[in-house]
A and B are shown apart, each in its own frame.
Chain A
Amino acid sequence: MRIILAIIKKEWLQLMRNRVLAFFIFAAPIVILAIIPFSLEGEVNIKAGIVDEDESSASRGLIAQMNNIELFQKVILFNSREDAQLNLSNGNIEMLLVITSNFEYLSVREQKPELLMLLDGTAPYRAKSIFSVISGLLESNEYNIHFHKLFNRAQSHKHYFLLSLIILVILLVGTSLMTLNIVNEKESGILEQFNATLLNRYLYIFSKYLFFIILSLFELIICLFFCFFVYKLTITGTIFEVFISVAIFMFPMLSIGFLIAVLSSNQVQSVYMLTFILLNLILLGTMFTQLSSMPIWAQNLALINPLYYILEISRNIVFKGTPLLKMLPQLTVLIAIGFVVTSIAVLKMSRSHSRW
């Protein structure tokens, strides 16, 4: 116990004496959380262009109707189709509505008037959204659909994003610190000096894990407090559940960092490997995509991705208030991943350091 406390004290002093690093760990996340989520408003803000080939009262009525709706950031009227299409290909407008010349003629006779709509497909998801918004304006629906939006009392776009960002920051800071800390000790020969102390390798690993988990929780508190005061992010479950799940999540992540540290012979190698692995974990997690829209192999791969589990767990706790006991399977998997990776790393380590 005394030994563990001594190591934790050493790590803390080492960390705090480096001013730049202390800034990066405690202040930088706040800077990021202050700027980026602030911009998220979720307004539709369509940049639209209209070509009126009919020039009748009916078409003018339609244009006036469109100008009145708040969905549009701007509505530009073009004289010719070519001119408008040029603007579409320059990215000045995202959609183009062409009112063809027999619009009034047909709509007066209660036939179906034709409207031509061109959308910029280079942003596929947005193009589809714009299309459904516009067609919702122009067309009627035979059902009477009521939408119930659950688990978001504030109706805020930011909260979901904030949570992902917090997890990402904690993950990045904790794992990189752990990896480079161990590699640095290996490289500068401090690890060999530890050989001459009472410390054995299990105590060494355990105290490192403990220290960086405590550090991540510390960081989590800072981020959550900031988000609570600035963005009114409230937690539906209890804050202890969040702490416990993040602490458990850090175990596999730190063990991955530890494995990288054991495998790499210098800091450059470890940075390369860490970047490679973190990037894959982040992009294959459900941070940007819904799990159901991924291909099957990627869905299966997510099952061994710690980031996938923590995102699910933390979203459930923060937004829905699901009790932690309901998510016992996910937590067990996280711990299992941690144990497997740690034992591989320990085996590798004992081969490279004869006494440890």
Chain B
Amino acid sequence: MIKRIITIAKKEVILIWRDKLSMIILIALPAVIIAILGGVLSFGLEDSKFYLLDYDNSTASKEFAQNLDISSEFDFAGYLSTESELESLLKNGEAKIAIILHKGFEKDILSNNSRVDVFVDASDLLFSLAVEQRIKLSLSKSNLLNYSYEFNPELKNEVRSVPGLIMIVLIIISSVMLSLSVNRERERGTSRLLILTPISIDGIIIGKSVPYIFIALLHSLSVLFVSKWIYGIELQGAGFNYFAMCMLFIINSICFGLLIAAWVKSEVELLIGCWLFLFIPNVFFSSFIYPIETMAEVTRSIASFLPSTLFLDSYKNVLFRNAQASSTYFNFLILFAQSVIIYLFAKVGFAKNFGRK
């Protein structure tokens, strides 16, 4: 059995090796995505430009603008002269934030009553909420709270973006790429030849997935170096747990990919199916873009059982928070159980149509 699996794996390696373009993409895709895009996806507000309409034109109002400009979140973009200018800037999307300081701003400051009008483009309500919070925060004076950010003292954005990106890479390599190769086998009719050999369907699938698992593991290891050397993130415990987590997640995505491959016929269907049913839910519905806590009660439980949420959660537990093993192993268990169930479903599909064109 093992020997047969190795033979299939060898065949798959040769297949990947001979197609130079695909091989370059398999190797380069993760490097590009993680090393370059890690710094681009920041999600937050950095240097959001604000325009100022200053009717008071006093030292106090200048100080107000300076206070905001100093903070890393806001960037002073320029003075406006009329309210109609402000309106048209906001409407054309050239400005997202505009502030009006009224006459008598300096005078009222003594009575703690100086009125500030902030106009925010709220088509993205989350953005406008964040702007509201940050403006209040950067203008508040007293410092009652003695605070610190645990596990990520400098609040580096890469702590959030890199795990999400490696998740995307693993999903794409292990589901799209592998199921594509399985599907190819079927479309070309070579799967019929494979079925004639003594190896079982399980053996064929395991053998075919071995090279992809290796590539995916290689990338998940390289992420550690990228996080450490390029982004300078402090890593806590990257040992066996990290390896097991990546392995489980890769196997899980493989099973999901196979499930889609088992029920479609052509490459187009597979590609669209993988993007719509694997990429979109795993990216938009997990804690990568929006925190799970902010979701509606009903769907929160679905979202928290999504493979990507489990992966991101254990990634944080293992690498940044150095959590107790019990909380991480629970995630592992769910990932594993999901893989088994999904694989069984995929096998039902394959049993029907693996040998058929």
| Interface set of A (CB-CB < 8 Å, partner B) | 18, 20-21, 24-25, 28-29, 32, 35-36, 38-47, 73, 86, 88-92, 94, 112-129, 131-136, 138-152, 155-157, 159-161, 165, 168-169, 172-173, 176-177, 180-181, 184, 264, 267-269, 271-276, 278-280, 283-284, 288-290, 292-295, 298, 312, 315-316, 318-322, 326
Q: How far does the Cβ of B40 sit from chain A's closest Cβ, in whole Å?
A: 5
> Which residues of chain B from 235 to 274 have a CB within 8 Å of any chain A CB?
263-269, 271-273
A-B contact pairs, 28 of them (CB 8 A): A18-B269, A24-B276, A28-B273, A32-B281, A35-B285, A39-B298, A90-B323, A112-B142, A117-B146, A118-B147, A118-B150, A119-B147, A123-B160, A125-B157, A136-B133, A142-B139, A144-B113, A146-B118, A155-B125, A160-B124, A173-B272, A177-B268, A180-B266, A288-B43, A289-B41, A292-B46, A293-B47, A315-B93
Contacts of A43 in B (CB 8 A): 293-294
Determine whether B82 belongs to the interface, using a CB cutoff of 8 Å to chain A: no
**CB <8 Å contact, A124 and B176:** no
Binds A, one of B215-223, B312-320, B336-344: B312-320
Contacts of B123 in A (CB 8 A): 151-152, 159-160, 315, 318-320
Contacts of B75 in A (CB 8 A): 292
**CB <8 Å contact, A273 and B25:** yes
**CB <8 Å contact, B121 and A151:** yes
**CB <8 Å contact, B323 and A91:** yes
Contacts of A140 in B (CB 8 A): 140, 142
Determine whether B70 belongs to the interface, using a CB cutoff of 8 Å to chain A: no
Residue of A nearest to B155 (CB): A124
Q: How far does the Cβ of A174 sit from chain B's closest Cβ, in whole Å?
A: 10
**CB <8 Å contact, A122 and B145:** no
**CB <8 Å contact, A18 and B266:** yes
Residue of B nearest to A89 (CB): B321
Contacts of A38 in B (CB 8 A): 296, 299
Residue of A nearest to B181 (CB): A268
Q: A145-B139, A160-B124 provided; 12 other pairs, C-beta below 8 A?
A: A35-B302, A41-B295, A86-B324, A117-B145, A124-B156, A125-B130, A131-B145, A146-B115, A147-B132, A264-B21, A267-B267, A292-B49
**CB <8 Å contact, B91 and A165:** no
Determine whether B206 belongs to the interface, using a CB cutoff of 8 Å to chain A: no
Contacts of A169 in B (CB 8 A): 276, 280
**CB <8 Å contact, B134 and A132:** yes
Q: Which of A45, A46, A123 has the most CB of B within 10 A?
A: A123
> Which residues of chain B from 175 to 213 have a CB within 8 Å of any chain A CB?
176-177, 180-181, 184
A36 to B300: give the CA distance in the assembly, Å. 11
Determine whether B348 belongs to the interface, using a CB cutoff of 8 Å to chain A: no
**CB <8 Å contact, B276 and A28:** yes
**CB <8 Å contact, A139 and B293:** no
Determine whether B230 belongs to the interface, using a CB cutoff of 8 Å to chain A: no
Determine whether B78 belongs to the interface, using a CB cutoff of 8 Å to chain A: no
Residue of B nearest to A29 (CB): B276
A275 to B327: give the CA distance in the assembly, Å. 34
| Interface set of B (CB-CB < 8 Å, partner A) | 19, 21-22, 25-26, 28-29, 32-33, 37, 39-49, 64, 75, 90-93, 96, 109, 112-130, 132-137, 139-142, 144-153, 155-157, 159-160, 165, 168, 172, 176-177, 180-181, 184, 263-269, 271-273, 275-277, 280-281, 284-285, 287, 289-291, 293-296, 298-300, 302-303, 313, 316-317, 320-324, 327
**CB <8 Å contact, B137 and A132:** yes
A177 to B272: give the CA distance in the assembly, Å. 8
Residue of B nearest to A136 (CB): B136
Q: Which of A91, A121, A318 contacts B149 (CB 8 A)?
A: A121
**CB <8 Å contact, A146 and B116:** yes
**CB <8 Å contact, B37 and A122:** no
Contacts of B130 in A (CB 8 A): 125, 129
Residue of A nearest to B147 (CB): A117
Q: Which 7 A-B pairs have the closest CB atoms?
A: A121-B152, A39-B299, A149-B122, A121-B149, A319-B123, A293-B46, A132-B133
**CB <8 Å contact, B93 and A271:** no
Known interface pairs A129-B133, A280-B32. Does A316 touch B92 (Cβ–Cβ under 8 Å)? yes
Q: Which of A118, A129, A172, A288 contacts B41 (CB 8 A)?
A: A288
Q: Which of A42, A116, A132, A134 has the most CB of B within 10 A?
A: A132
Q: Which of A45, A132, A184 contacts B293 (CB 8 A)?
A: A45
**CB <8 Å contact, A150 and B160:** no
Contacts of A176 in B (CB 8 A): 268, 271-272, 275
A25 to B160: give the CA distance in the assembly, Å. 32
**CB <8 Å contact, B118 and A147:** yes
Q: Which of B19, B285, B317 contacts A36 (CB 8 A)?
A: B285
Known interface pairs A25-B272, A293-B47. Does A156 touch B125 (Cβ–Cβ under 8 Å)? yes
Contacts of A184 in B (CB 8 A): 266-268
Q: How far does the Cβ of B55 sit from chain A's closest Cβ, in whole Å?
A: 15
Q: How far does the Cβ of B195 sit from chain A's closest Cβ, in whole Å?
A: 21
**CB <8 Å contact, A20 and B265:** yes
Residue of B nearest to A88 (CB): B150
Q: How far does the Cβ of A115 sit from chain B's closest Cβ, in whole Å?
A: 5
**CB <8 Å contact, A40 and B22:** no
Q: Which of B22, B43, B130, B268 has the most CB of A within 10 A?
A: B268
**CB <8 Å contact, B26 and A272:** yes
Known interface pairs A18-B266, A45-B293, A94-B293. Does A298 touch B40 (Cβ–Cβ under 8 Å)? yes
Q: Which of B47, B149, B266, B291 contacts A292 (CB 8 A)?
A: B47
Q: Which of A118, A142, A146 has the most CB of B within 10 A?
A: A142
A129 to B159: give the CA distance in the assembly, Å. 16
